A and B are shown apart, each in its own frame.
Chain A
C-alpha cells in the first residue's frame, strides 16, 4: 500500500491557492458545486475552504448515496428484513439512516431482524452460498461506481444457480441529478439556482467517462471540471473552473486524467446495461422524484430482484418538514440556515439525509467546519 502524500503537499496547495486568489475577480462570486460526497469529504477533512478567497464558495452536492436514499426505500428494506428467513446485507453506513417514525436498520436489527453489515457485494454472495436456508438480500445502494459490482454479483448468482440471493436495487445515476439541480426545485419553486460551475465526480467518471457531462456545459453554460478525490485535485479543479468562468467559457475539462478517459470503462458499462434497465422515475431524498434517474433489474433477472421476489411495495413517507436538505442540495441554502442544524439535528441524531453520512453537506459542516460558523472562532483568528 502506498500513501499518497504527493497529492496533499501543503506547499503545492498554497501555490495553487495563491493562483486562485490572484485570478478571481473581486466583483463577482464563484459558486461551485462539488457533486460528490468524496469531494465534500476531502474539502472538509483538509480544510480547503480556509485556503480560498471569500468570494469562492463551495456548495456541497447530492453525490452521497446514503444521503439521497429516500425514507420510503429504507422502510422497504426494513420491511424486507422482517420477512421470514430473510437475511438483509447492508453497508455499515446505512445502519443509522433514519426511516419513518424513528426507525432504522440498526433498531430493526436490535429488535431481532437478521441484518448483517457487509463491506462488499461479494460478502453477501458468500453468505448466500454458506447459508442456503436463508433468503439473502443485498441492499444495493450507490451511484455508477458501485453499480458494476452489483451487476457482477447478479451474474455470478445466475452462473452458480444460487436460488437464495437477490438484490434490493437502489442504484442511481449522476447526470439526472445534476440536471435536476440545474432545473431547480420544480413547478412553483422559484428559488434561483446559484451555481456557476461543477467539480465533476471522480470515481463515477471513471465508469461513465466525460461525455455525459457535455449537455451541462453546452446547453446550460455551466463549466464542469472532473476532479480526483485528493485535496490537491480539488484545488486544481477550482482553479480550472475560475479560469473558465473568467474567460466566459463553459467546457467539460478533465483534471483527473490519471484515471478518467473520455468514454469511460466500456466493460463496466456493458455489465450495467446487461443487468439493469432505467426506472421511469425514482424518489431522491432532498430532490424529489426524478425521471429516468435510477436503475432496476431487467425482467430476465426478475428472480434476483428482491422487490419482485417478495412483492415489496413503496409506501410514501414524508421527511421532516423543517429539513432544508432539498434547498441545500441545490445550493440555495447553507446548512446553517436550517433551524434544526446542530440543535435537534446532529450526526448522532440525524433528522434529515444530509446529516447522515459524513459526506453529507450538513454532517460535513457539523463534523469538520462548524468552528467557521462561530463568533468565538473569528475572535480567536484575530488574536492569532
Chain B
C-alpha cells in the first residue's frame, strides 16, 4: 500500500509574499527556486539542479568579475534591478574587450517582498540574459528579516574570454590619444532619480541600461591594438571614470563641453536637481581611449551599431603631471571636471 502523495501547492505568484520559509532550505525554498528562477532563467544548467555548473573553455585568457546591485527604487523607467544586474555584469566583462560567457546570480530577499515583484525581476533577468546570449548558470537565494535588507539585493559574477593578443589596460593611455563616448550621458541616473521618494518628477527619460559586448566586439575589430582602454561610466559618471584613468595612466585630459552628448531632458533635469550630467551614472554607455590614427575607423564602427549611434569624440589625453581632467565649457571658459565629493544630492539654493 502506498501513501497518498501530498498535493504540490503552487506558489501564489500574484498575491503572495516572500517569507522566512523561502530561505530556510525546505520545500518552500525549493518551490520558490523552481517556480520563479528556473522558470525565468530557463536553461539546461539550472535544470540539472546541481549546486554548481560545469562548462568547457578552450585554453585562453579569461576574465572574471563580480558585482552587487542595491538600486532603489527596484523598478525605474527603462529597466529594473534585474536588467541592471545582468547588463552591468556583462558590461564589466566587455570592458576588457572580452566576450562574456556565463553569469551567476545570488539574491538576498527581504521578508515581505511581494512575489509578483520578484517574478518581474527574475523574468527581466531571464529576458536580458537571453537577449545578450549569456546564460545565468548558477545562483543562490537567502531571505532576511524585514528591515535587514531593502526589498531585494542581487549579487552576480561573470566570466568571459578575451580575443588573443588584446590586452586593454588602464595605464596604457598616452598623450594625444582621443577620448570617445558611445552616446548620451546621464540617462540612467536621471531616470532612477525621477522615481525616488520625495523627488518624483515627470520625465520621459529612460535608463540606458544595455549590454555592450556587441558594440565592443565591433570596436575591437575596427581599432585593434589602437584601443587603449574602455570603461563603462556607471557610479560617479564620466567625471569619475576619466579621473580614474588620468590617475592610473599618469596623464591629464582636456574635454570640449560642446562635444559631449547630453539629452536636452537630462540637461534640464540636472539643472533642476543641481547636478552635473558628468557626475551622473550610466548603464549602457562606454568611454574608450584610442590612438589618434585609429579614431576614425573606431567612430565609424561605433556609429554603425545601434548602441553607438551617437558616439562622439569629446577630448584628448594630454601630458599633465597634475593629472587634471579639464574642460572648455560651452561658455568658453575652462574648468576642472572633478570627482564628486560626498553624495549626489540636489543643491538647496
On A, residues with C-beta under 8 Å from B are 1-4, 8, 10, 13-14, 17, 37-38, 41, 44-51, 65-66, 91-93, 95-96, 117-120, 123, 141-143, 145-146, 203, 231, 346-348, 357-359, 363, 366-371, 374, 376-377, 380
Contact = CB atoms under 8 A, between A and B. Distances in A.
Contacts of B276: 45
B347 A47 contact: no
Contacts of B272: 1
A4 B267 CA distance: 10
A186 B331 CA distance: 39
Contacts of A4: 271
Contact of A13 (B265, B321, B331, B336): B331
Given A48-B331, A374-B322, 16 more contacts: A1-B268, A2-B268, A3-B264, A45-B335, A46-B330, A46-B331, A47-B331, A65-B349, A92-B345, A96-B342, A123-B198, A142-B349, A347-B341, A366-B338, A377-B324, A380-B319
Nearest to A122: B198
A340 to B, nearest CB: 16
Contacts of B98: none
A348 B341 contact: yes
B294 to A, nearest CB: 24
A44 B326 CA distance: 12
A347 B342 contact: yes
Interface of B: 198-199, 203, 264-265, 267-269, 271-272, 276, 318-322, 324, 326, 328-336, 338, 341-343, 345-349
B349 A203 contact: yes
Closest 6 A/B residue pairs (Cβ) = A47-B333, A92-B345, A347-B341, A50-B333, A46-B331, A1-B268
B318 to A, nearest CB: 7
A47 B341 contact: no
A367 B336 contact: yes
Contacts of A366: 338
Contacts of A44: 335
A145 B349 contact: yes
B346 A371 contact: no
A47 B335 contact: yes
Given A47-B329, A119-B198, A370-B336, A376 B321 contact: yes
Nearest to B347: A93
Nearest to A230: B331
Contact of B318 (A2, A367, A369, A380): A380
Overall SS of chain B's interface:
loop
Contacts of B203: 1
Contact of A368 (B332, B336, B349): B336
Contacts of A119: 198-199, 346
Contacts of B264: 3
Contact of B331 (A10, A66, A91): A10
Nearest to A13: B331
Nearest to B199: A119
27 contacts: A1-B268, A2-B268, A8-B331, A45-B335, A46-B331, A47-B329, A47-B331, A47-B332, A48-B333, A51-B332, A91-B348, A92-B345, A92-B346, A92-B348, A93-B348, A96-B341, A119-B198, A119-B199, A120-B198, A142-B348, A347-B342, A348-B341, A359-B347, A367-B336, A370-B324, A371-B326, A377-B324
B347 A14 contact: no
Contacts of A46: 329-331, 333, 335
A41 B265 CA distance: 21
B322 A376 contact: yes
A47 B334 contact: yes
Given A3-B271, A123-B198, A371-B326, A37 B335 contact: no
A145 B349 CA distance: 8
Contact of B265 (A1, A10, A368, A370): A1
A95 B344 CA distance: 12
A370 B333 CA distance: 14
Nearest to B318: A380
A250 B220 CA distance: 64
Contacts of B346: 92, 119
Nearest to B269: A1
B21 to A, nearest CB: 31
Nearest to A50: B333
A49 to B, nearest CB: 7
Given A10-B331, A95-B342, A37 B349 contact: yes
Contacts of A118: 198
A45 B198 contact: no
A37 B272 CA distance: 16
